[in-house]
Chain A
Amino acid sequence: MKKRKERIDRGIKVRSEDVFAVCSWREMLYLSSPRWLPVFIFLTLPLLLGPYWQKVMLSVAVFGLLAISWDILAQTGMISLGQALFFGMGAYCAGVMNHYFGISPFITLPLAAVAGGAISTLLLLPVLRLRGIYFSMVTLILPLMLVRVIEATKIFGGTEGLSGMTPLPSIWIEIYLIFGVLTAALFGFRRMLTSDFGLVLKGINDNDRSVTNAGINIYWFKIQALFIAGSVGAFAGAFMTHVYMFVGMPVFALDYSILPIAAAVVGGPGSLAGATLGACILVPLSEVLRGIGGLRIVFYGAFLVVFIVAIPEGLFHYAQRKYHQFERWVEVEK
């Protein structure tokens, strides 16, 4: 008898799909534990780690935010190669506000997020009609261009940057602030993307002409998506300014553009949780590999290649599938 492998939903997934899930703790746990797990880890892990790894966690959260910002844009059909633009804009906005006007970090952070997002959107406004690789090229070039502008005109401290920012009061406030924002962004924007507004954004990615045919101005929606993604990236930048107490040309570095994309690809493009998961893996990995020395980048690259070849759908989608479904051999009915 011939057999084939069948993939079906787990019983508990089917049982917990409708309202009766609330009748049983097991079903409720099944539904909610994947959501609680990251929150729980973000809350407890900082208590267990030393100061060095606490700093690493800050950068995990920052790259997580950048990856979320990249993924929102990618789901709207705009492949950005320049997350550093948003990051740097936010960093400089916060730096300028704090350095020249002495505004407290708790005010500069939200202000810089909004202002950085708005300025980045304005900068990208002329190229909004470009699609695909052309849009990507412009986003890649812009941060590199801004670095030279700062170097040549010597504004905002030029090559030396601005230093002596007000730090946040303590490491605990830093950690719980950034992880609070990361969790809010992760769950909030995930919900946004499943709302009607999010459906339009995903529609633009899928087939922008059909969206136009439905009487929707896609450019207005693209502007909104850019602003949202820009603000998320700018917040990460502003936060880093206050953590390092310094802002300078490195904020426009290529790392801030490339690592979020790598994170989203490893974690699973098309889902914000995947992007965050990717950042949670890649950033600590790069720290662990630091001990190796010169070959660090080689190992890092080899890991990325192996990962992309082995699980091209991304870790999150793979895990999600295993969580919801199982496989078994069945006989082909005759």
Chain B
Amino acid sequence: MLEIENLMVFFENALAVNGLTMAVNTGEIVGVIGSNSAGKTTLMNTVSGLIIDMRIKEKRKGGERITVYGRISFEGEDITEASADARVQKGIVLSRERHPVFGESSVIENLKISGHLRKRSEIAETMDSVFELFPALYPLRKRKAGFLSGGEQQMLAIGMALTVRPTLLLLDEPLLGLSPLMQKAVVEAIVNLNQDSGITVVICEQFARPVLPIIDRGYVVENGMLTLSGTGAELMDNPEIKAAYFGI
């Protein structure tokens, strides 16, 4: 479904992603595991096309020059230079890091805003499924999104990505700053999403423990380079992963 070949991303002279090659097949949950500054967010931004926007802005204000090399193809089509909105229309949707929501709008309005590409009936339908997926959001649906807790905002952010009806959902650090209970709820929701709606999911996380059991395949990234890849079970049994991410 998604193929990334030899991707290199430079921020001025710093290499954020170095020769990364990975593939995502339809219907999978793929994990990208890496510590801080491994290049996970850059990877997500590059796949979702946000980096093209960043590149233009930085260029205009004379800041860091962003250079992207390599090839990203989605369903056989080269999308390396496609803009972020074009990619969303193709079905690649990113739920960004630190759960950005429209703070001044209510939960329902947030879901409507993000789903504006779809028909009204479809939005209503997905909205129901979002509330089914995250029952905790239902009582809060009239509340301003800025007043929700971090976990609730995270659920809303994932819900907002879902109302676009993606075929490929990218989740950037969905567990950041959540309590273990909340993490469990989010992880369960991701599994449900994948099994019931058949959405392909890519999760970027540095907190590997709750993520590794649910992924079909995983990639471990360090300093922008791929160091390990394998199925979820393989990665969990790997002694290096155990030492680095489980602290055993």
Contacts and interface: CB of A to CB of B under 8 A. Distances in A.
A313 B61 CA distance: 5
A7 B63 CA distance: 11
Nearest to A6: B13
A4 B69 contact: yes
B62 A2 contact: no
Interface in A87-113: none
B12 A7 contact: yes
B195 interface: no
A332 interface: yes
Nearest to B10: A4
B65 interface: yes
B65 A5 contact: yes
Task: Summarize B's interface: helix, strand, loop or mixed.
Answer: loop
Nearest to B6: A334
A277 to B, nearest CB: 16
Given A7-B65, A313-B62, 9 more contacts: A4-B10, A5-B65, A8-B13, A312-B60, A312-B62, A313-B61, A313-B63, A318-B62, A332-B8
Contacts of B8: 332
A317 interface: yes
Interface residues of B, number: 11
Majority SS of interface residues in chain A?
mixed
A321 interface: yes
Interface string B56-78: 00001111010101000000000
A7 B62 contact: no
Interface residues of A, number: 13
Interface string A1-22: 0101111100000000000000
Interface in A297-334: 311-313, 317-318, 321, 332
Nearest to B13: A6
Interface of B: 8, 10, 12-13, 60-63, 65, 67, 69
> Which 8 A-B pairs give the minimum distances between C-beta atoms?
A313-B62, A4-B67, A313-B61, A312-B61, A312-B60, A2-B69, A332-B69, A6-B13
Q: Quick one: which of B61, B62, B63, B65 has the most chain A CB within 10 A?
A: B62
Contacts of B60: 312
A172 to B, nearest CB: 40
Contacts of B67: 4-5
8 contacts: A4-B69, A6-B13, A7-B12, A313-B61, A318-B62, A321-B62, A332-B8, A332-B69
Nearest to B68: A4
Contacts of B61: 312-313
Contacts of A321: 62
Nearest to B60: A312
A4 B8 CA distance: 11
A8 B65 CA distance: 12
Contacts of A2: 69
A7 B58 CA distance: 14
A332 B8 CA distance: 9
A7 B13 contact: yes
A321 B65 CA distance: 13
Nearest to A268: B62
B104 to A, nearest CB: 15
A317 B62 contact: yes
A162 B65 CA distance: 56
Contacts of B69: 2, 4, 332
Contacts of B10: 4
A318 B60 CA distance: 11
Contacts of B13: 6-8
Nearest to B18: A333
A238 B222 CA distance: 62
A7 B61 CA distance: 15
Contacts of A311: 62
